[in-house]
Amino acid sequence: PRADEVDRKKAALRRSLLAWFRRHARELPWRRTKDPYRVWLSEIMLQQTRVETVIPYYERFTAAFPTVQDLAAATDDQVLKLWEGLGYYSRARNLRATAKIVVEEYGGRFPEDAETLQQLPGLGRYSAGAVASIAFGQPVPVLDGNVRRVLTRVFAIGRQADDPELAKELWSLAERLVAPRAPGDFNQALMELGACLCTPATPGCVHCPLRRYCDARKQGIETELPLRREKKGIPHYEVVAAALERDGRYLFGKRPTTAMLGGLWELPGGKVKPGEPHPQALRRELVEKLGVEIDVGDLAATVVHRYTHFYITLYVYRGSLQSGTPEAREHDELKWVSPEEIGQYAFPTSTRKALARIVGAC
């Protein structure tokens, strides 16, 4: 959209959106405070995750770590255990890293400007803008999926959603629109509108406070925007793992910090090659990853789990060591854990579901 068109609309957009938000905003636990620690925590948790999912995690997390100092003093395992099941685990590791920096380098006070906030682990332009505007009243924009959708429709921007030029255009637009006197409320209002009314498939235009100003609605193309390319099929992988038992304890490996699901504990195993029988795949994986030969027993659990870009079927077989001593060749460490102790460790969701069937834990 042309700059003069944006300037012509922006006062009315701000006024209508803020009035709607103050009447209809959802009562969410992180909206009861301007504490930068809690605003930051909620924004990191809400990345790629629905509000309803985040609420209980946020409440447990703030009960366990009420201040940034408490979080900085925690261990990775404590943080990951509380994060267990929320996904995108690098967020949890970055939380603790950021908390330590804030305590050690900033005296326990978060920086107030978005540019400095972006230097902290796990804070990109969006998260830094959210914290700076909501906690500190800085007039900086935000641009998440909800805001992108709202702006694309209000100004009828017909670019493909993955077009890099669209991102630049929308950031510039959000910057022009952000309300200087109530930037935190304005940014939250844009996000709230996208989450509650301006939804992807069935936008609630009848109740939308911006319906008079929405170019997509005037043109009858609100459900067509943002433009998206046709999705390809999601890959599926078969994964095998071993429930190796010794003296009533099970062997677990801690995934490397740099790997997907880094820092979580898992039953040892790996992907099945095309056409490879499961017992053969499991024996191969354990030779490679642990340096041991095993006897493969009965199938103990089968779990189907979907990640963002692929899904797996996990097959867990009971097994016993035949020769060799387990070595952490691809894990950060190995541990033999009793069923009573299993609840102390953080696992990927698929592993946790399998363990519930095998040992009744988790």
3-state secondary structure at position 68: helix
63's tokens? 């009960």
DSSP state letter for 37: H
**What is the CB neighbour count within 10 angstroms for residue 41?**
24
Point out the catalytic residue in the list 27, 43, 169, 238.
43
Beta-carbon-side half-sphere exposure of residue 170 (alpha carbons within 13 Å): 29
Alpha-carbon span 126 to 290, nearest angstrom: 41
CB 283 within 8 A of CB 289: no
The strand ranges marked E within the chain are 236-246, 249-254, 265-266, 269-271, 293-306, 311-323, 333-337
CB 149 within 8 A of CB 200: yes
Alpha-carbon span 158 to 151, nearest angstrom: 11
Instruction: Give the residue among 138, 164, 169 at the shortest CA–CA distance from 151.
Output: 169
CB 331 within 8 A of CB 256: yes
DSSP state letter for 55: H
Which amino acid is it at 7?
A: D
- The reply to whether 43 belongs to the active site is yes
Give every CB contact of residue 362 below 8 A, 6+ residues apart in sequence. 342, 343, 347, 352, 355, 356
CA 82 to chain CA mean position, Å: 14
User: Catalytic amino acids?
Assistant: 43
